[in-house]
Amino acid sequence: MTSTTERPPKRRRDRAAREREILEAAERIFGERGYQGTSMDDVAAQVGVSKPLIYQYYGSKDGLFLACLARLRGHLLDTVADAVMAAPNAEDALYAGFLAWFRFLDEHPQAWSVLVDEGMLSAGPAAEATDEVRAAFIELIATMVRMNLPAGRPVDDDEVQIVAQSISGATERLAIWRTRTPAPPSPEKVARTLQDLLWQGLHTIKSS
């Protein structure tokens, strides 16, 4: 031991720990540079590990990206769902859901970059996984829509779907718009306006 230098950095770790480490780096880099702008070599270098190891753990670039996406989406979905469930009635639930959505995205900008990039995956098997995550949101919205209608009455499912898809699309576009606008309106303002826009119309859904 003639050398006085320390050698702690390059230690082996068990699989679970490495996977977590890779995922965190990937989330950060994808968030900064986007899907296209990130190479697997970048991620590998950042973690201090070689590329094939990442392939062994995540299978492909899409696989790694999807792992990030699923985690972030899950987190976002939980936040919104909690806000919705805590509301005393349908009207408040709608507003609370919108507010939680926009607030979360304000507080996790890098997360949002990853989520927005999902459009990147419009081709390939990754698209299916992406759609599954989105479907959970649509389902939450559809549930809220039904909450708002006279209980026990049969409902036109097509109309519920149309409304739920509309709301999902509106909130996504608003989120993108807010990140690209210099001084965007506050989450409260946006949630309020959206609530005003939609609330009346939600009663027009017909029975099937």
What is the binding site for a copy of itself (CB under 8 A)?
33-37, 116-120, 122-124, 131, 158-159, 161-163, 165-174, 177, 180, 185, 189-190, 193-194, 196-202, 204-205
Among DNA, a copy of itself, none, what binds residue 172 when CB lies within 5 to 8 Å by partner kind? Answer: a copy of itself
Among DNA, a copy of itself, none, what binds residue 190 when CB lies within 5 to 8 Å by partner kind? Answer: a copy of itself
End-to-end CA distance of the chain: 82
Burial (0-12, 13-18, 19+ Cβ within 10 Å), 159: middle
The region of 39-47, 96-104, 161-169, 172-180 touching DNA under the rule CB under 7 A is 39-47
The region of 34-42, 88-96, 170-178, 190-198 touching DNA under the rule CB under 7 A is 34-42
Q: Tell me the closest approach of the beta carbon of residue 6 to DNA, in angstroms.
A: 15
When the beta carbons of 31 and 49 are compared against a copy of itself, the nearer one is 31
Among the listed residues 50, 186, 193, 208, the single contact to DNA using CB under 7 A: 50
**Does the protein bind DNA through residue 11 (CB under 7 A)?**
yes
- 27 to 47, 95, 117, 190: CA distances (angstroms): 12, 30, 12, 28
How long is the chain? 208
Q: Tell me the closest approach of the beta carbon of residue 28 to DNA, in angstroms.
A: 16
When the beta carbons of 49 and 129 are compared against a copy of itself, the nearer one is 129
Distance CA 34, CA 114 (A): 7
Angle at 137 between CA 131 and CA 138, to 5 degrees: 80
Among DNA, a copy of itself, none, what binds residue 163 when CB lies within 5 to 8 Å by partner kind? Answer: a copy of itself
Distance CA 183, CA 200 (A): 29
Angle at 190 between CA 189 and CA 192, to 5 degrees: 65
Name residues contacting DNA, limited to 62-101 (CB under 7 A): 62
- 11 to 18, 48, 57, 157, 185: CA distances (angstroms): 11, 10, 18, 56, 48
**Does the protein bind DNA through residue 13 (CB under 7 A)?**
yes
Q: Which residues make up the interface to DNA (CB under 7 A)? A: 11-15, 18, 38-41, 48-53, 55-56, 60-62
